[in-house]
Amino acid sequence: MQRKVLGKTIDQWVEETPIIADMIDYKPVFWLNDSIEDWEETTYNNLELSWKDVLEAEERWIRFAPLIAKLFPETEPQSGIIESRLQELPHMKEAINNNYKVAIQGRLFLKCDNALPVAGSIKARGGIYEVLKHAEQLAMNNNILKEDQDYSILADKEAREFFSGYSLAVGSTGNLGLSIGIMGAALGFKVTVHMSADAKQWKKDLLRSKGVSVVEYESDYSKAVEEGRRLAMLDPMCHFVDDEHSKDLFLGYSAAAIRLKRQLDENNIKIDKQNPLFVYLPCGVGGAPGGICFGLKQIFRDAVQCFFVEPTHSPCMLLGLSTKENDQVSVQDFGIDNVTEGDGLAVGRASGFVGKVMEKLLSGVYTIEDDELYRLLALLKDSEGIEIEPSAAASLKGPVALINAKAGIDYAGHNATHIAWATGGSFVPEDMKRDFYEKGKRLLEL
């Protein structure tokens, strides 16, 4: 008997949603979302979250800045605001054009979250935000902090002792665990990170060196989250950071849009319908790219088009969106193995909450092969001297995927601004960085 998913055979699914056939064969695909709505229509009123929530998140980041500057001196030059630079990639644009035989028009930038302080990845936005918000609530409820006070008092001994009575837990493929562990431990929380089998040893070692408990699983991300959630529920003093459902994580990420707007202004880049912005975001469970897309849509509306990128072996968001079944389906249901070397991207089932919000906001999704990640990583290092991790390199395929798709996208030629979101890299140990690069060079020479 043929395997059935939600009562339908795979053949029936393929008939209804033909792109699934290529996904099952691990072929790179490009999918345009025909459910996207013009901003003016119904979008604005029909979302659970709003612009006000994004602003509140940014205000909270600002309140915490003095504390962050105190706990993490590397953030002092930016006064405790955890932010990355926006860097133009003129040489990489050339290198991509030569390598892929395309002609990217417009300007290409890298959003350098690979170098975000404190956590070394995009998770510094969401993970740290949720820890801070939780700490703020606890401290206020217990009269340790008032909203108009200087938050750096939370670095004092008294506050640390207070937080040590509470615990945090999270399920992670690695980078989210790092952000929660590093920030939680810095405040004094007891932190437990439930790591999926694909999590790298160096991340576990780094966390243990900070006094974080690391529980290792032989299964994938969804299982680590489920088990972590179950155990945390048994402990009333424990807050579980729920990557599959958390609105706080999502909003922490969304504040990036406000910062990016400022950086575009500083570069005198005007974004409107005639001068559109294309943003390419690597997607795992969906919180990080979803939060950023949400924030950007609030600011730029129809002038921004966001595309997610997933590995060909872990296209969970694409599967959820293209079938419209959201988190009711997993890639494993379709025999797709969820094995990828893109850290943070090995997720078989997307966040249902994020999927629902993206339905009306996201322009599309493309998938990419692991080998391609290494090639792009090496091209970037050779052309611009920037080192990123393989998952982050997925974003650099964006303009190529768009051009090759020829799917009736109004691509605006020279007036377009393209931003590839580099999601991680700076914490990767030097020997691994070298291995990544050498692998990319070998693949480029084939």
Ligand X SMILES: *Cc1c(COP(=O)(O)O)cnc(C)c1O
What is the binding site for ligand X (CB under 6 A)? 121-123, 175, 282-289, 343-345, 389, 391-392, 423-424
Residue 390 C-beta: closest distance to ligand X, Å: 9
Burial (0-12, 13-18, 19+ Cβ within 10 Å), 385: exposed
Nearer Cβ to ligand X (116/238): 116
Residue 310 C-beta: closest distance to ligand X, Å: 9
Residue 163 C-beta: closest distance to ligand X, Å: 25
Nearer Cβ to ligand X (171/184): 171
Instruction: Give me 63's structure tokens.
Output: 């309140």
**Nearest residue to 31 (alpha-carbon basis) of 391, 331, 407:** 407
Nearer Cβ to ligand X (225/271): 225
Nearer Cβ to ligand X (287/399): 287
Nearer Cβ to ligand X (276/348): 348
Residue 327 C-beta: closest distance to ligand X, Å: 13
Round to whole Å and give the CA distance between 336 and 332.
5
323 neighbors 13 (Cβ within 8 angstroms) = yes
210 neighbors 185 (Cβ within 8 angstroms) = yes
Round to whole Å and give the CA distance between 147 and 170.
27
Nearer Cβ to ligand X (311/399): 311
Residue 147 C-beta: closest distance to ligand X, Å: 29
Nearer Cβ to ligand X (131/288): 288
**How many C-beta atoms surround the C-beta of residue 173 within 10 A?**
27
Backbone angles phi and psi of 176, in degrees to 5: -65, -40
Round to whole Å and give the CA distance between 339 and 329.
17
Nearer Cβ to ligand X (181/289): 289
Helix (H) / strand (E) element for 22: namely: helix 19-24
Round to whole Å and give the CA distance between 30 and 170.
32
Contacts of 399 (CB under 8 A, 6+ apart): 96, 102, 104, 108, 278, 280, 418
280 neighbors 104 (Cβ within 8 angstroms) = no
**Where do we find the tokens 């890639």?**
331
Residue 286 C-beta: closest distance to ligand X, Å: 5
